[in-house]
Amino acid sequence: MNKVTLVIIVFFILLALGFSFVYSNTQHFTICIVDENGSPLKNVDIQGVIPVPPNMGSRWETLFIGRTDERGEFILTDLTKVRSIISKWINYLGDKASVSYPNIILFLTYNCSGLYVDQASIRLNPIEIMDGKSYALTKVIHINRKPDAPAHPRVVKVERLSDAIIRRKHNEFNVFSYLPPSKPSVYSPYHIWVMIGDYIWPSTGYGKIPIAWIESSSVFGSLSVGIVTYHSTNFNIGYAIESTGTTFKAGATLWSVTGHFSKSYEFPEQGDTGYIYIKGKIEAARYQLAYVDQHGDIVYYLDVYQDDIAIVDLNMDGSEILGGIEDGFPPQINYIDDEFSYEYYTHDTGTGSIYGDYAYHIHSDDFVDTYAASDYTWIDLAAAAGSILLWVSGGDPVAGIAVGVLSKLVASISSSYIQISYADVDYDSYNRYDIYVYVRVGSTNYIMSNGEEGRIPLMGIKIIGYPQYPGGPS
């Protein structure tokens, strides 16, 4: 090797190291997409969105678009628009910005022998993002599903819209022109989700969102909800993809809270009903998938829709999540009844423990084990958020989402890292009474975040005690 060649090699090594050094000190997002075997997925279209603060209206704003390379990576280094919207959130949230805040949702669209749609989230702290912190995540898209699992939605119909309709719906914009300079690495056709409907309840103030309730007779005990985490509590999206059919899926984390909540409802032996609620907002959004050409122009829409729902903007007092207890059923119960019916869960025998040392205990994760494929990443508790919005609307569609879809949509609550508790019921009955426990479970199958299929249990429980006799209820 001659000296000239050696000098050239050293130059390029130093150049590469220099670029690496500059990059490592530049704020950035690194997103890596792989399949369930860990193999990188190339050409996954990525769209980063975030809700705007409620004082700016009701919509989710697109922050960036991109596409994974041969390493399955997309790296965003221009965070101008991200920092702009985060600063608006900090102004809106005020002192609670460090303990209760939105995350960036990633819509992932992968067209490979069929259309795969998934979500991920960049769980960011707004104070840290303004201080220059970078974020990295790896997301698994489950491609090779079990033979008996439902197929991912596939594009089978295309709606070619006239220029007039495109202008009316989207104000005649070019996709590249309204996004920051971080465009896809290759200017080839790709997909983008276009918002066509959004709704937030309540528009001002906070609403009561039931997360646990009890119906009891001839039993005694307590229903408790305790949220205490050392990292954060995640408020997650439930969503549906509508194409030739409708697929319901566990989605990404839209809101994070570093805080605590604790309430307990004691139910007496003569029987009672009551519920525990938190105070926050529920937001729903509807998107349609569009096909974009190499110039960044929407050329037509696909007959594929995405319907999202989540709990956002929790009411906080310092680090405490505000909420309460009320007697009776949640007022939305008639709409909850439509999709979440009581199912028999277990049978016990009363021991007569009536002074707080109850013989039986059920944790909310026991229901997740039984019904929701043990997907603790996505669900410890679920709220029938779609049913709540139907109650608000009087049974009419919200954000353009059909009633039959909205009624099945749930928002979930889960924890990051260390969890102390979520929801528990402790109970007993008179000595040698039969105790029957029922739980409300959704009628619809969801594809969970672990790739398995499950149904969504609510922490809506009915416990009834009966004197023992042959052929008792079941």
Q: Give the tens place of pLDDT for each residue, 57-76.
A: 778 999 998 899 999 999 99
Instruction: Check pLDDT > 50 for residue 178.
Output: no
pLDDT, position 161: 46
pLDDT, tens digit, 9 for 90 and up, residues 387-417: 999 999 999 999 999 999 999 999 999 986 6
pLDDT, position 146: 52
Instruction: Check pLDDT > 60 for residue 2.
Output: no
pLDDT, position 470: 58
Where does the pLDDT of residue 302 fall: very low under 50, low under 70, confident under 90, or very high at 90 and above?
Answer: confident
Identify the top-confidence range among 4-18, 111-125, 284-298, 300-314.
300-314
> Greater confidence, 171 or 206?
206
Average pLDDT value for the chain: 85
Lowest mean pLDDT among 141-155, 226-240, 448-462: 141-155
3-state secondary structure labels for all residues of the chain = CCHHHHHHHHHHHHHHHHHHHHHHCCCCEEEEEEECCCCECCCCEEEEEEECCHHHCCCEEEEEEEECCCCCEEEECCCHHHHHHHHHHHHHHHHHHHCEEECEEEEEEEECCCEEEEEEEECCCHHHHHCCCCEEEEEEECCCCCCCCCCCCCCCCEECCCHHHHHHHHCCCCHHHHCCCCCCCCCCCEEEEEEEEEEEECCCCCEEEEEEEEEEECEEEEEEEEEEECCCEEEEEEEEEECCCEEEEEEEEEEEECCEEEEEEEECCCCEEEEEEEEEEEEEEEEEEEEECCCCCEEEEEEEEEEEEEEECCCEECCEECEEEEECCCCCHHHHHHHEEEEEEEEEECCCCCCCCCCEEEEHHHHHHHHCCCCCCCCCEEECHHHHHHHHHCCCCECCECHHHHCCCCEEEEECCCECCCEEEEEEECCCEEEEEEEEEEEEEEECCCCCEEEEEEEEEEEEEEECCCCCCC
Instruction: Check pLDDT > 60 for residue 32.
Output: yes
pLDDT, position 55: 85
Where does the pLDDT of residue 173 fall: very low under 50, low under 70, confident under 90, or very high at 90 and above?
Answer: very low
165-177 average pLDDT score: 47
> Greater confidence, 309 or 229?
309
Instruction: Check pLDDT > 70 for residue 280.
Output: yes
Taking the model in full, what pTM does it have? 0.87
